[in-house]
């Protein structure tokens, strides 16, 4: 767009502010808007955020549990995964899980985030042996037992991210989880081709991921998903990924948050020479996410935009995601989470109040409570009258 179209953009955005749904074609223009037009886009996104959840920005105080870093996929940007024989390959024991959540409990954490590789036992006999020694047949079965352990032995609430899941596993894991997650990342099938980020990642086929997210919707599971930007997709494909999420949310109403995550380069990954998305790309994508799905929780991780992460507040996010006072970000270990006091002061400097939420957002608590049992008991004990974390500091 040129500056000649600026008034047209301004008047279009004024209509979006009053409820006009953002059309795909305009979203594709806005996600590449000029620096002159960016302030109009950001102001609109901020206004929509304020209409959705005024004055408050949330975060979840969590411990990060890398249950296993063995994974059968080889994403070009991943520094987390290991083969079974690699140095650093590790599957946490129940004692390690328990020790981490109990330390987290003392630090006021309310979320146990289980992040793990996708079905490693399908390709690594060593993983099958480990699981057998622990008394389980599959990684998902072990994960289910560890979620139960967390619920039974601590006040933390599990949020597992184990990759693709069948309907049956979604059902089983949702009975022991406050919410669940699977990043869609992208709907671009071009990234599956030779030399692209998902060439060797059978679990990153967009249709398979959309299927898991849809099945979660049919089961009414509060579900986290989102985009990973800067891994080879085009700006229009970012819009299409957001539209796919919007469509599933419109159909099932279960998307509790949409994460906009930016690729960060690391020295040991196949994509180590790949350019990172700029601050401007990130702001545009977050703002377009807010415009496309105005009534969704939009999250961006602060550690991946440090030191200027507070700029994301200008683009319409209402959540910082999981921040840990204890465990590192095992997915981006070189990017430490900001200290919670710094996060609070920078959030307040922008005029917002920082609130600690649970791994399930207040408006999705009834769906999680419907599971009943120990999960419902623990949730009831953890939530305050509004649905935020009762033990918030």
Contacting positions for ligand SF4 (CB under 6 A): 71, 73-75, 78, 80-81, 117-118, 163, 201, 203
Find the shortest distance in angstroms from Cβ 200 to ligand SF4.
9
* Nearest-angstrom CA–CA distance, 310 and 222: 27
Find the shortest distance in angstroms from Cβ 149 to ligand SF4.
22
Answer whether 356's CB lies under 8 Å from 389's CB.
yes
The number of residues in the chain equals 393
Rounded to whole angstroms, what are the CA distances from 156 to 82, 108, 175, 304, 356? 28, 9, 15, 25, 13
Q: At CB < 8 A and 24+ separation, what contacts does 87-91 make?
A: 89/126, 90/66, 91/67, 91/127, 91/130
Comparing CB distances to ligand SF4, the nearer of 117 and 316 is 117
Comparing CB distances to ligand SF4, the nearer of 50 and 199 is 199
Q: Phi and psi for 88 in degrees, rounded to 5?
A: 90, -5
Comparing CB distances to ligand SF4, the nearer of 33 and 231 is 231
The half-sphere exposure of 8 on its side-chain side, counting CA atoms within 13 A, is 9
Residue recorded with tokens 């953009």: 9
* Nearest-angstrom CA–CA distance, 241 and 226: 8
At 304, is the secondary structure helix, strand, or coil?
helix
Residue of 381, 364, 360 lying closest to 159 (CA atoms): 360
Comparing CB distances to ligand SF4, the nearer of 58 and 241 is 241
Find the shortest distance in angstroms from Cβ 16 to ligand SF4.
34
Find the shortest distance in angstroms from Cβ 199 to ligand SF4.
12
Comparing CB distances to ligand SF4, the nearer of 75 and 244 is 75
Find the shortest distance in angstroms from Cβ 72 to ligand SF4.
7
Q: What is the dihedral of CA 266, 269, 274, 277, to 10 degrees?
A: -50
Find the shortest distance in angstroms from Cβ 201 to ligand SF4.
5
Find the shortest distance in angstroms from Cβ 116 to ligand SF4.
7
Comparing CB distances to ligand SF4, the nearer of 155 and 327 is 327
Q: Phi and psi for 385 in degrees, rounded to 5?
A: -60, -25
Comparing CB distances to ligand SF4, the nearer of 241 and 356 is 241
């Amino acid at each position: 767009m040129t500056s000649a179209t600026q008034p047209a953009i301004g008047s279009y955005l004024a209509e979006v502010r009053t409820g006009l749904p953002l059309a795909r074609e305009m979203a594709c223009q806005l996600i590449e808007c000029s620096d002159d037009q960016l302030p109009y886009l950001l102001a609109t996104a901020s206004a929509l955020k304020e209409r959705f959840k005024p004055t408050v920005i949330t975060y979840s105080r969590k411990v990060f549990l890398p249950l296993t870093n063995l994974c059968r996929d080889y994403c070009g940007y991943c520094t987390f995964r290991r083969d079974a024989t690699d140095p650093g390959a590790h599957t946490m024991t129940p004692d390690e899980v328990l020790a981490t959540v109990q330390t987290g409990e003392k630090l006021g954490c309310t979320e146990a985030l289980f992040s793990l590789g996708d079905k490693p036992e399908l390709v690594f006999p060593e993983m099958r042996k480990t699981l057998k020694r622990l008394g389980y047949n599959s990684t998902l079965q072990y994960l289910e037992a560890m979620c139960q352990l967390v619920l039974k032995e601590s006040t933390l609430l599990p949020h597992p991210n184990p990759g693709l899941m069948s309907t049956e596993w979604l059902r089983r894991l949702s009975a022991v989880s406050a919410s669940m997650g699977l990043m869609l990342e992208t709907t671009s099938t071009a990234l599956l081709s030779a030399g692209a980020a998902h060439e060797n990642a059978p679990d990153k086929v967009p249709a398979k991921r959309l299927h898991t997210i849809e099945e979660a919707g049919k089961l009414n599971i509060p579900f986290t998903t989102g985009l990973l930007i800067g891994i080879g997709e085009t700006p229009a494909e970012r819009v299409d990924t957001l539209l796919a999420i919007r469509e599933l949310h419109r159909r099932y109403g279960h998307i509790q948050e949409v994460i906009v995550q930016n690729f960060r380069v690391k020295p040991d990954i196949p994509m180590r020479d790949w350019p990172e998305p700029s601050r401007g790309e990130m702001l545009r994508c977050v703002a377009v996410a807010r415009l496309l799905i105005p009534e969704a929780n939009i999250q961006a991780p602060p550690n991946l935009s440090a030191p200027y992460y507070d700029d994301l507040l200008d683009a319409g996010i209402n959540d910082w995601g999981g921040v840990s006072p204890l465990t590192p970000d095992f997915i981006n270990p070189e990017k430490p989470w900001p200290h919670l006091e710094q996060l609070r002061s920078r959030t307040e400097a922008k005029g917002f109040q920082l609130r600690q939420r649970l791994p399930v957002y207040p408006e999705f608590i009834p769906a999680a409570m419907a599971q009943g049992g120990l999960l419902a008991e623990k949730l009831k004990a953890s939530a305050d009258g509004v649905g935020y974390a009762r033990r918030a500091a």
